[in-house]
Structure 1
Amino acid sequence: MRKRPSSRLLVIDPLQRTLLFRFVHKHGALAGQAYWATPGGGLEEGESFEEAACRELLEETGIQRSDVGRHVAERAFRMQLPDGEYVWAEERFFLVNVSSNVLSGAQWTSLEREVMADNHWWSLAELAGTSETIYPEDLSAILNASGLSGSS
């Protein structure tokens, strides 16, 4: 099984809320699936996790950073991609505090435009109380371990 290293972003606004995108798959191997997930994506050839985190942050949110610091969490698991391929996902999470929750999708790929249906800034209380599918499943624990607190 091919390894797929990727960088995920824990984007935190001034109210201590975390940005998640709603993915809705209408076609392909994931058709019918809908869930909320952190921004991020796979590393490109020769790219470090940190470089990928900066690139993905810009591409998916319009927020530009030259440094995202060290990763605050990681996980590995088997995952199915939209094209049906199963990969061994190796994810590292980077905490990014932002001063504004204004986003831009100007650099989204055609696949992102197709499947990224919405975004929302989630408080820890909302995450704890939702029945929605959230990835990673232990997002609240990752956020708490990263020093995020409060129930705004």
Structure 2
Amino acid sequence: MVDFVPRRAARVLLVDEAGRVLLFRGVDPGRPDEPYWFTVGGGLDEGETPAEAAARELREEAGLDLPVSALGAPVHADVTEFPFGAVWYRQEQEFFLVRSPRFEIDTSGFDEIERDSITSYRWWPVDELASAPEPVYPADLADVLRRVTAGA
């Protein structure tokens, strides 16, 4: 039986005017030959709400500074289990939808772990997620994006 470290996280579905979502390409430092793609976001700091964490992560990871009130309510939530380093996590995560004109990503706010584990970023068309050469997380991201952006 695997012992999981519980973790709460806020994730951001950052979608540009063409409907593309910003994803980062990263690796687990313990498994550098297994890259994957994932959304902006990360763990909640002590006393932080999910919306506050999402706004902070947007600023730190992408250079987009938005007030917490601009995020609205979460549009999706799930639970995932994954290894990172030598630790297994069970992460409860909430996703916020942010629409923004495409802009130049600023990763200067990355912390040491992000600098060591994130190798690139890309604005992905939703229809290309299923054919990505590496795993995309969450695995149902295309379906989630279609649902939360429907009618927009």
Q: What TM-score do the two structures reach when normalised by structure 2?
A: 0.89
Letter in 2 for 1:75: D
**Partner residue, 1:53:** 54
8 Å contact kept, 2:38–2:137? yes
Aligned-residue CA RMSD in angstroms? 1.7
For 1:33 and 1:72, the matched residues in 2 are separated by: 29
Shift of 1:106: 1.1
Could you tell which deviates more after superposition, 93-102 or 35-44?
93-102
Could you say which structure has the higher strand fraction? Answer: 2
**Partner residue, 1:104:** 106
Deviations 1:93-148 (A, max 9, x none): 11011123311011111111111111110111211333421010000111011025
Letter in 2 for 1:73: H
Corresponding residue pairs, total: 147
Letter in 2 for 1:94: F
Counterpart secondary structure, 1:64: coil
Structure 2: state its 5+ residue gaps.
none
Q: What TM-score do the two structures reach when normalised by structure 1?
A: 0.89
Q: State the 4+ residue runs in structure 1 displaced beyond 4 angstroms.
A: none
For 2:76 and 2:111, the matched residues in 1 are separated by: 26
**Partner residue, 1:115:** 117
Q: Provide the identity percentage.
A: 34
| 2:1 equivalent to 1:13 | no
For 1:147 and 1:106, the matched residues in 2 are separated by: 29
For 1:10 and 1:89, the matched residues in 2 are separated by: 17
Letter in 1 for 2:57: E
Structure 1: state its 5+ residue gaps.
none
